[in-house]
Structure 1
Amino acid sequence: MKKIFLFIVLLFVGWHAHAQVVLNLQLPPLGLTIKPQLWNLSLVNTSAQDLQVRIEMVMTDVSNNQRVLTGTSKLILLPRGVKQLQLSDVMPITYNPGSPGYAVDPSPEGFLPIGLFNICYTVIRVQSDEVDRLGEECETIEVEPISPPQLMMPLDEEQVDITRPFFAWIPPSPFNTLNSLLFDWVLVEVQATQSPADAIQQNVPVLSRQNISFTNLQYPLSAPELDSSKLYAWRITAKNNMSPIANSEVWSFRVRRYGPDTIAATGTGYFAKLYREEGAAFAICTGVLRFEYLNELNSAAINLRLFDISTAMRKQITLDSTDQQVRLGQNFVQVDLRQTSGMIHKHMYLLEVENARGEKRYLKFEYRE
């Protein structure tokens, strides 16, 4: 027993003699988000003399051990005892990106990539031509997005007008730190005794989609229509490099129940807004398509194009006239589609509006007879 104890003591003494500097990473309360926070360190110089050192940092991905980022501090004079490093003590820092598969902000104050990483620090003494490793410490840390994905539509507790709604959301931020961003979407039915959050966790999905590369999803025509007598809940999971990084909130909605003469009046007098993105605006058209258009160029006309997007290959619909007369300022445009060939009940269509400068605006809508 005495031999074992002596062996352990000798091992500790030998380690202590080699590791002359002890490192402690001090994470901020809300976690790591930007590069300067990597250098919240305290160093303990256990030797009997002041040391001139530099610190090398290596960040690797836990899932595949690929190098993501490295950083090297300037030379630091490390006195005996404890030293709490300030950012000014290590600046300027030389950063080098690792694998090209990671989106690393090149700025010294930039955001860190999002994910689960191993971070290893090494204290190296530089004396004449000699380089000696005095201490090393590694930690596993998770860099989380500042903001998780945000749901946009349908709104929480909304009653939607159609049985195949259009879903949209905002990606997590900071977006530029995500190099391979995908989304999982899930829709479940909420039972009478459940909250929407419980339903997402416990119920079999009505429909789900994985690895969506866009921030919107049209409920497919191939799936059964949603039931106006039921409550539905949905959620988005953001993934980076195929690993989940954040969940959105859970929102719920119902499909509005209509009487036999209600649908024909839906949208009467309502003029939809156009947006730059194809999936940002949605409306229901019951024969006459109505939309707002702001003419800032004082041009005499705008060009209209219409596409059926209900199938995999979008099909252009031939309009009676592709030119729409407009005046300067706000215009309220009505396009009668009731006699247009190619309009099919409950199909999804995309209207493209192009001005004289070549700028395009879009409106997605469902056509109803």
Structure 2
Amino acid sequence: MFVPEVYGTTLNGLFRASIYNASGMKSVRMNITVTEARAGKIATIQTGVFTIAPGNNIIPSGVARTASLAMAQNATANFIRRNQYFPQGDYEYSFNIYSASSSEEIIIDQTFNHEITPPAPLDLIEPYDKDDICEKRPLLTWQPSIPKMDGLLYQVMLVEIKDKQNAVEALNYNLPIVNQKGIVANLLVYPPNSKELVAGKKYAWQVSAYRDQTIINRSDVWSFEVNCQDTVSAVIPTDYGYRDIENLVKGNFYIAEGFIRFSMINSYQEQKLRFNIVCTTDPKSKIRSLPTIKLKKGQNKINIDLSRNFSFKEGYSYVMTAYLPDGTPKSLRFIYKNIE
């Protein structure tokens, strides 16, 4: 049993395979051959003798340390020698386990395939980088890791930034205020057992995506400051809920409780608003039956009703791309919530 999506990116990861033995104790050897569709054979690994018991067996660490490795002479193999990980490509992993007493007696002959592609950046959403916020227990949100992988979990780290520190230094050296693992969704409600943030202080945070304790992807480190006075003054009570689309996309985050509300200026003739919405939590889902929005000349307060559209699911993340009258696209990320 081998999971190439997690362990098929390094030579050491190949030894994270496990062997299921349905019969009695056996002394065996193992050969692992890695090939890439364009480059051909990349590496061959041969182990010494080891014993497998009935049931599931992990490969002993001593077997991995003493195994012999033969690398091919091609550009892909040379890259692996220098960088210790597999570059982008279409790989085949062949595992052959045979009896220690006879190389003719093959016990297992199994092949796995996996295409290694660069993961999309794991982007943070809210709190926005270098932003001022008022919430002392903020909701932390980020884009889902792509490509989507079964069993993928997230870890969130949040620390205070001390004097003369930058965000990365703070995250590496300071004790975390929040260190939450095992997160399934791409958001974290501030943990009740973590102390609340303090007005006037700066904080750094980062999200890691992992599976089986192996880091798959990691976001940049962002910082923000708790500054309630500035945040409150930025809200105009008479226009609450209809913030300018320019301000919304700069914040790059929005919770749509049944509706998306924003304002924009149309300096041209009356026309339809061109916009589309895609789901980032489940990219395969299709968003249908979006309403038609007509823009009048001048100031427009736009209210897009999503509550009656069954394409939207509670807690899922979406991106709306709206095209301004001059053709400029503006992307707004939001999480959909049902109307309570």
TM-score over 0.5 for the pair? no
| Structure whose alpha-carbon radius of gyration is higher | 1
Bin for the TM-score computed over the shorter chain? 0.3 to 0.5
Q: How does the TM-score come out when normalised to structure 2?
A: 0.44
Q: How does the TM-score come out when normalised to structure 1?
A: 0.41
